[in-house]
Chains A and B, each alone.
Chain A
Amino acid sequence: MSQPQPACLPETAGQAHELDVSSFSGPAGYAVLGHEGRLYSSNPQLAVLLGDAVVVSGRLDSLCQNGHGPSAAELMQSLTGTDDSTITLEIADGVTRQLQFGPLRAHRRLLIVSDPHHISVQTSALEQDTLTGLANRHQLNEILSRLESERAAAQSAPTATNGNAGNAAILLIDIDRFKQINDTLGHATGDSLLRLVTGRLRRVTRETDQLMRVGGDEFLLALPCDEEPGGVEQLAIRIVELISRPFLINGQQLNTGVSIGIAWFDDEAEDGATLLQHADLALQKAKVSGRNQACAFQSYMAQEALQRRALEIDIRRALTLQQFRLVYQPQVDLHTGKLAGFEALLRWEHPVRGTVPPIEFIPIAEETGEIRRIGAWVILEACRQASLWPAELTVAVNVSPLQFDDEKLPGHVKDALNRSGIAPERLEIEVTEGLLFHNPDAALAQLTQLRQLGVDIAMDDFGTGYSSLSHLSRFPFTKVKIDQSFVRGGVDDRTQALVTCIISLGASLGMKTLAEGVETPEQYQRLQTSGCDAVQGYLISRPMEAGSTTNFVDQCSRQIHDGDATA
């Protein structure tokens, strides 16, 4: 909030806070004038609307010098008055301009010049949404910059009249699950809903408010700065309640809701673009907090967004800066007790952040799409490492569901096999259940291609998600990895029964089973007795650096030769 200012400051005292309108955008011309008509600042649009003469001479009274202009007396009155006043003047035949004068601090006057013609065709075809009749995105900038200049003007105005003015606010209103409604009930129903929502929103907005449709299912409500404290939040809550009431469309009841992000002009948001960003961040919060609610912007949201941006940028650079590396966790064959291979695991070492756990950066890399580049590197690097091991050892690589989106995965795999020279059977691609929901058709096609190459496919973390048996049989898995939660700690009878069941299920479908998280000899024994094919876990070894793998391999073969198998 701006400091209260005495209503009448001497000319010089006000200068530090002098309103500068030169950067004001939008269709209106702006100028700060002295009482004598001198131009202190103006925006480029002013010259466009009033002609260069005014700007060149630096005086508004140059307008009086052409035949069409206002009388000098009329102009003088508007300049020296303390109230708002409006003059309409014809600057050429049939070309009129509206000049609005308002008070500023320190005997300054704010002039807003508009083209009345422009106002009347303000919502021209392009700027109007044909479905709802609301202003659309094309008008967004204009409305934001109007809010911005109104705010600037209000801040520079004498406090006697504007001291209590609250800050202008915007509400970003998003219809919950609109896409779903459109997809399941049809576009005609979706359109009707948009019209009805518009109607309800119109009911709670005042004439001075600006309602527009800024996206398929997104509305923006701009509220000028005359709200009483808490008024904006109350309005938002009212809108949420109103839209949550049932709709009746084509004889059918339809229930939906809206999420709302609220943002105000304040010290953190001094321009329209920032204001919009804040409203958007607040909207995202409202959505992740469960939708059908309003959420006001708070500065921590901007900080979170900044941190997140910074993390995104760091992830994008990490590959080039060689901050990623792979570590390898050994897998042991339960039938022979021999080392079978390794699972490659991604690590990110950032110079400032330190070691960032995969759960923190993988989801972001997935969202930004960076995962595809990272994923391709992981496959290549793992194959390269495997080429240094004895030819019977395998390497397992985790692949994100997102890596199937651009259909380049089989190509990356082929490339990695060629460049490393390892046999395809030594590579195992691990996918999670998420894949089966994300884009199952594309996944199935590419997994089939990979199988045709001779690469093995493992289903990771089996039992933790929504695993269904039909998935297991439909996809060309060669292995099922039993999640460590079924293995670790004291396993009760039911869990043991489940593990046994997964093992025999795998066997009957021709799939191998590998249990993760094996920590004790008892667990090892139990899995061996149950018929599990392989294990992985701290009992054998923690994940190790690439450089240590060859040593480990040597050690294992020596132990075998000494007749002293692991565990």
Chain B
Amino acid sequence: MSEPLMRVVYVSHNTIQGDDDYLSQQIEQILDTARQLNEQAGITGALMFNRGLFAQVLEGPAAAVEETFERIQCDPRHAEVLMVACDPVTARSFDQWSMAYVGMQADVPALLLEIASETGFDAERIDGDAINNALRTLLTDSDGAQAAA
């Protein structure tokens, strides 16, 4: 792939109302759509959900990332989107996943998100690279994460 690659990391608040079952079902749905559309668009990445917060890494050709990001922006299932990183990259971190998922059971990112919520969502203090790296480590080191291509 010769097109320049770009990576976006953002954090957002979940606005899905309902019990855990409904929530899981909605997230399942998000992942289904995401994986299908991302594969077509050449996007890879990871999504993390915990304690009412989402964090997502999107990587791929710049135009595709922008288009996908814009679509996600319009989604009423989350709000108060805060972009924490938005950079050109030379290689993908999640090239095996059209959208990997790290759910509630994973401890490390949960900690990261706690930091995010404690800093009052201050973009300056949330480290996009840290989120990216933590997710990556988690997904490559443990098979426990629900990673799917």
> Interface on A for B, CB 8 Å cutoff?
196, 199-200, 203, 241-242, 245-253
Give the complex CA separation of A249 and B8 in angstroms.
12
Give the complex CA separation of A260 and B69 in angstroms.
25
- Which residues on B sit within 8 Å (CB–CB) of A251? 6, 62, 66, 86, 88
B8 touches A248 (CB 8 A): yes
Give the complex CA separation of A247 and B74 in angstroms.
10
How far in angstroms is the closest Cβ of chain A from B45? Answer: 14
Cβ contact of A252, chosen from B70, B81, B86, cutoff 8 A:
B86
Give the complex CA separation of A250 and B86 in angstroms.
11
A248 touches B79 (CB 8 A): no
Q: A251-B62, A251-B86, A251-B88 are in contact. Are A246 and B73 (CB under 8 A)?
A: yes
How far in angstroms is the closest Cβ of chain B from A245? Answer: 5
Known: A246-B73, A248-B69, A253-B86. 18 other contacts (CB 8 A): A199-B74, A241-B79, A242-B73, A245-B79, A245-B81, A246-B82, A248-B8, A248-B65, A248-B70, A248-B83, A249-B66, A250-B62, A250-B66, A251-B6, A251-B62, A251-B86, A251-B88, A252-B86
Q: Mark B1-39, 1 if CB is under 8 A from A, else 0.
A: 000001010100000000000000000000000000000
- Which residues on A sit within 8 Å (CB–CB) of B8? 248
A-B contact pairs, 6 of them (CB 8 A): A196-B70, A199-B74, A242-B73, A248-B83, A251-B66, A252-B86
A200 touches B73 (CB 8 A): yes
Cβ contact of A248, chosen from B74, B82, B86, B88, cutoff 8 A:
B86
Give the complex CA separation of A420 and B90 in angstroms.
76
Interface size on B, residues (CB 8 A): 16
Which of B10, B66, B69: most chain A Cβ within 10 A?
B66
Give the complex CA separation of A252 and B87 in angstroms.
8
Q: A251-B6, A251-B62 are in contact. Are A246 and B83 (CB under 8 A)?
A: yes
Top 9 nearest A-B pairs (CB, nearest first) are: A245-B81, A248-B69, A246-B83, A248-B66, A245-B73, A203-B74, A253-B83, A253-B86, A251-B62
- Which residues on B sit within 8 Å (CB–CB) of A249? 66
- Which residues on A sit within 8 Å (CB–CB) of B66? 248-251
B86 touches A242 (CB 8 A): no
**Dominant secondary structure of chain B at its interface with chain A:** strand
Q: Mark B77-97, 1 if CB is under 8 A from A, else 0.
A: 001011100101000000000
- Which residues on A sit within 8 Å (CB–CB) of B86? 248, 251-253
> Interface on B for A, CB 8 Å cutoff?
6, 8, 10, 62, 65-66, 69-70, 73-74, 79, 81-83, 86, 88
- Which residues on A sit within 8 Å (CB–CB) of B82? 246
CB closest chain-A residue, reference B67:
A248
Give the complex CA separation of A252 and B81 in angstroms.
15
Give the complex CA separation of A203 and B8 in angstroms.
23
Give the complex CA separation of A253 and B81 in angstroms.
12
- Which residues on B sit within 8 Å (CB–CB) of A241? 79
- Which residues on B sit within 8 Å (CB–CB) of A252? 86
- Which residues on A sit within 8 Å (CB–CB) of B10? 246
- Which residues on A sit within 8 Å (CB–CB) of B73? 200, 242, 245-247
Give the complex CA separation of A200 and B81 in angstroms.
15
Give the complex CA separation of A504 and B65 in angstroms.
61
Cβ contact of A199, chosen from B70, B79, B81, B83, cutoff 8 A:
B70
Which of B62, B65, B69, B70: most chain A Cβ within 10 A?
B70
Give the complex CA separation of A203 and B70 in angstroms.
12
Give the complex CA separation of A49 and B10 in angstroms.
57
- Which residues on A sit within 8 Å (CB–CB) of B79? 241, 245
How far in angstroms is the closest Cβ of chain A from B55? Answer: 15
Give the complex CA separation of A249 and B81 in angstroms.
16
How far in angstroms is the closest Cβ of chain B from A132? Answer: 15
- Which residues on B sit within 8 Å (CB–CB) of A242? 73-74
Give the complex CA separation of A242 and B65 in angstroms.
19
Give the complex CA separation of A248 and B70 in angstroms.
7
How far in angstroms is the closest Cβ of chain B from A250? Answer: 8
How far in angstroms is the closest Cβ of chain B from A152? Answer: 35
CB closest chain-B residue, reference A249:
B66
Give the complex CA separation of A199 and B88 in angstroms.
25
- Which residues on B sit within 8 Å (CB–CB) of A246? 10, 73, 81-83
CB closest chain-A residue, reference B6:
A251
